[in-house]
Amino acid sequence: MSRLALERVLQSQGFGTRRQCRQWILAGHVRVAGVPVDDPARIVDTQGLRFQVLDQEWTYREHVYLALNKPAGYECSRRPSHHPGVLGLLPEELRARGVQAVGRLDHDTTGLLLLSDDGAFIHAQTSPRRKVPKLYVATTHDPVTPELVATLLAGVRLHDEPEALAAVSCEPQGANRLGIVLQQGKYHQVKRMLAAAGNHCVALRRVAIGGLRLDALNLSEGNWCYLGESELALLAGA
């Protein structure tokens, strides 16, 4: 358990500089456990701390772990160049505390995206050594054939890759849909593998990372949620 001055609590949670947070408190805009607090130096326990700023409820989190159902047309970069950034779908308080995407999805790829301000978590999730399985559903231009599935499972050679890349699993989900699990996370990997196998990807959606499935989170496109211990355990067990 840590004990911090209230102004530092607000600063750590993305409410601005220490001076700005002090002004929020002095102006009477902050409540702790429903009780107004106007002393910026008030020491509070952060364990399970709940507070309100302008009547909006917040819970203190040392780090945040988020899942977003990414829509098409958004870039995962903190400095997007051609399309809006996914961080714009989050509250300003989360953006201010340095949340960033855990890996990237192409601007036209939809589905499950993790975000966090915990550098160790981001590194662990993106490290090639962990080989975190990710499930994608691809819509293909041409019909999915047994030959296509066999080729993807056997592995295809991509430009600039020293070795062939193979799907962990690959299952047809209709005439022109394919569920494919990958571990490597290479640039445009699903699209490039399908092209190398003689087909073409017209739409791509990520539906699971490790044991965490998007449908279990009940998120509509563009919405996000905090990940709790049970969801993080599904990722840790990958």
Specify the pTM.
0.90
Same domain, 87 and 124: yes
- The Cα 197–Cα 233 span in angstroms is 35
Residue range 189-204, pLDDT digits in tens: 999 999 999 999 999 9
Q: Name the active-site residue from 45, 106, 142, 215.
A: 106
Which pLDDT belongs to residue 116?
A: 97
My answer on whether 223 and 113 are in the same domain is yes
Positions of the chain with pLDDT under 70 = 1, 80, 237-238
Instruction: Provide the β-strand partners of residue 3.
Output: 45
Would residue 106 show up in a list of annotated catalytic residues for this protein?
A: yes
Q: What is the pLDDT of residues 22-58, one digit of tens each?
A: 999 999 999 998 899 999 999 999 998 999 999 899 9
- By CB atoms closer than 10 A (0-12, 13-18, 19+), residue 120 is exposed
Same domain, 90 and 141: no
Is 137 found in the same domain as 124?
A: no
Last residue of a domain, one of 35, 59, 83: 59
CATH code where residue 191 lies: 3.30.70.1560
Range of the domain at 170: 133-209
Q: How many domains does the chain have?
A: 3
Q: Do 112 and 222 lie in a common domain? A: yes
